[in-house]
Structure 1
């Protein structure tokens, strides 16, 4: 078995553990090779996730899911020779380097060999096209020689020759988790709770989009409009649309405090079509403007 295949299976294991940790295990069909240690472990995790979800739903509990609360951002600024010129404090915290370990160091000195090939290809494309704006997966090498995977946006700053490398990541498991909605039909009390759980998850994962009508949501989750409306209020103590509105603003608040993303970008990331609408909603919710939040210098763009 190749190293890349092993890495893919390890990533899947981390993803399943992450889903269990946030109360949202997804349905999947594990492999059944009894001679493969990865498959055996995946089967065990699958069984635990199924038992935990069944127990939770049988107790009438719909677990919450707040993925953006575990997000942070890595930021590197490279000079014209692709050496690290500056970085934010999350780089030190997550990769465990001391400040003196990074300044002036070639960027390809902190990524693994596989990533170096990807990095060189990116730079070669820049020479050919005279522009750079791309999203690539890199594996950083931490101070203690561990691998830290991250999807990075690479772009050249408007003035000068500096490159900006940023990555918005989930810190709970350091591997991006993809959560999908189950399409299997469910019935009875537990079935309705599962539909509410899926609706709750759907809202949190689509905060950057307009929320469909209750009728459309009921059709999407195989339920009835009235059941979704009443059941959601009963279990989450708020209406579907009020929850959607509040969670968009919570996500915006979290991103303002924990990232260097501009306020206008955050507004669009949270589903607001204009910054003015976002400004008014944010101020009404919190009593102060988004720009009044204190952002440390390390988090400013």
Structure 2
């Protein structure tokens, strides 16, 4: 038997065992071969993706409100790129024991092609006192299977221990089918009072109810999500301008973002700015005015009000409580 066939069969056996044990995170790397075995590999990758999404919805979602994003893996990396902390689900996803991850290089968890990308991001982190970005990486499980994920990276300062990097991997569920299946129901629920609305108004409302998000639309909205995370300190453009930058329109941006992430663009922006600010308040000695500027708030009073509304304490109170 040819070597490449044996290798792919071995990967399939490992993946099947993982799926039978209830782990659906792994994927098999596609090859250049165009044969029946490659068709099986593609099919099992798709099947694992579907099972993963079903389990996410059944295990984490109640009947009334759907959670679209679930934190799958979390790591804290020290200044030298070594793993200081890893969550339990990450160990399960990577099929590795905690002791085989802690105090080892984070890059050891990545495929060869992703190591270079990670080193570049880590070098960029080292050049700034605070840094937020996202990058697509491919993790490798203990069995050699691949786990492609979008990784969110945040660098912060921890008192007396230097800089630390927080790495978060979020599982974005495949929500497109649910979006589209719900459209017909929404149309049926539209109640038009004939004498109170003109034909033009009724037509406009019906068209609005028939909005469908294509795969390309969803990719643009996910790009909007990543752009916001990577540019929290910058002045945010109007939604119309932001939509044009993405190659879509304002309505699809607002509608799609709410459907995919369960919140508005503006609310998500403020929440992420405050999340970044909270880390700097707790784990750095920066002046609050500097933190406000680095998180996109126009003034210190504006920042303080938003911070207290979100966390119940002012920045100074929060820092004092953390240092006690």
Indicate the structure (1 or 2) with the bigger Cα radius of gyration.
2
TM category (shorter chain) comes to: 0.3 to 0.5
TM-score w.r.t. structure 1 length?
A: 0.42
**Could you say which structure has the greater relative contact order, defined with CA pairs below 8 angstroms and 6 or more residues apart?**
1
